[in-house]
Amino acid sequence: MSEKTFRQALNEALLQEMKKDENVIVIGEDVAGGAGANGEQDAWGGPMGITKGLMPEFGRERVIDTPISESAIIGTAAGAALTGLRPVAELMFVDFFGVCFDQIFNQAAKFRYMFGGKAVTPLTIRTMYGGGLRAASQHSQCLYPIFTHIPGLKVVIPSNPYDAKGLLVQSIRDDDPVIFFENKTLYDDLGEVPDDLYTVPFGEANFTREGKDVTLISMGKTVQLCNQVADELKKEKISCTVLDLRTLSPLDEDSILEAAEETGRVVIVDESNPRCNIATDISALICDKAFSSLKAPIKMVTPPHTPVPFSPTLEDMYLPNETKVKNAIQVTLDN
């Protein structure tokens, strides 16, 4: 066990699982870099270096650089999955899903169901999401609600290096299409990661803090934010439970309801835009199944219903932050 970055954890998951199972392949734009040219090979290892070192180890038959065509990348991967491989395809920014969504939601997501269980599609799609890097409206979105909406897709969103490696290994071993969301600002975060291969199951949320006053429900980057707020509020004698959802589909309903019933006050912190997002989905679930435990309306901390700004000042105002979370908590306590 040693401290590794989120990036290293993902790289290790791929390297070790590809060693274990020869059917695992990696496919995407510059996942190695340098294909078809005489210059440096494995120059990139992906735009953030996640897949670096894989091509020298496994060759270009298993680590495939593609043209800039998401529909080709995902279509190829979906077909490869149907016919026996376990592809890990990269959709570089989730913002680009528009050009390949049919392959994902109408093809890959439906095969098992429409072929009566006779087909499996063990496809993993890794994709970056999230704002904070001044990457502007078309490179900062959090579109996981759209994928969560589709039956047949699994949606995974790790918040730390340990979960990143375990959930990616689980995603590769899962026989269904999995969309693996990586927050682009988390890659340098450190955490204890075992050297061996291991898994983290889907549908199991993680309690990162336990308290009796307020429950904070979070996913991906917002988990860190909620932990920070919880630790600060402890000094003011307010104890918070923090739940890290880890997978949005399948969803750990039992833990959500347990966390809500424990405190009766819920604040959901979701970086995706407010209409039809995960916060609204969970809010409805809690109202439906744990209404009598609630002591206050459920508060949701989300950005406004606008594109992600490019201006740094505006982007900082757009994103969830400590003040917004604390204000929401206060409203539930004042009730």
Residues making contact with other proteins (CB under 8 A): 1-3, 162, 166, 192, 194-201, 204, 206-207, 210, 231, 234-235, 237
Instruction: Return the number of the residue (149 or 173) whose C-beta is nearest other proteins.
Output: 173
Beta carbon of residue 18, minimum distance to other proteins (angstroms, whole number) = 14
- CB 310 within 8 Å of CB 325: no
Residue 259, CB-side half-sphere exposure with 13 Å CA sphere: 31
Closest of 272, 329, 279, 278 to residue 304, by C-alpha: 272
Q: Which of 52, 62, 139, 265 is catalytic?
A: 139
Instruction: Return the number of the residue (118 or 237) whose C-beta is nearest other proteins.
Output: 237
H or E segment to which residue 286 belongs: helix 278-289
Does 139 participate in catalysis according to the annotation?
yes
Using the structure block, give the residue that is written with the tokens 């897949």.
51
Closest of 59, 54, 47 to residue 16, by C-alpha: 54
Phi and psi based region of residue 265 (left: phi greater than 0; alpha: psi -120 to 50; beta: remaining): beta
- CB 60 within 8 Å of CB 36: no
CA 153 – CA 95 distance, rounded (Å): 18
Beta carbon of residue 274, minimum distance to other proteins (angstroms, whole number) = 31
Residue 80, CB-side half-sphere exposure with 13 Å CA sphere: 22
Instruction: Return the number of the residue (43 or 197) whose C-beta is nearest other proteins.
Output: 197
Beta carbon of residue 198, minimum distance to other proteins (angstroms, whole number) = 4
H or E segment to which residue 65 belongs: strand 63-65
Q: 278 vs 28, 96, 108, 210, 248, CA distance in Å?
A: 28, 20, 23, 22, 8
Cis amide leading into 312 (omega within 30): no
Instruction: Return the number of the residue (2 or 83) whose C-beta is nearest other proteins.
Output: 2
CA 250 – CA 216 distance, rounded (Å): 19
Q: How would you label 285-316 residue by residue, b for 16+ Cβ within 10 Å and e otherwise?
A: ebeeebeebbebebbbbbbeeeebbeeeeebe
- CB 127 within 8 Å of CB 74: no
* 77 φ, ψ (degrees, to nearest 5): -65, -40
Beta carbon of residue 269, minimum distance to other proteins (angstroms, whole number) = 20
Which residues are identified as catalytic? 139
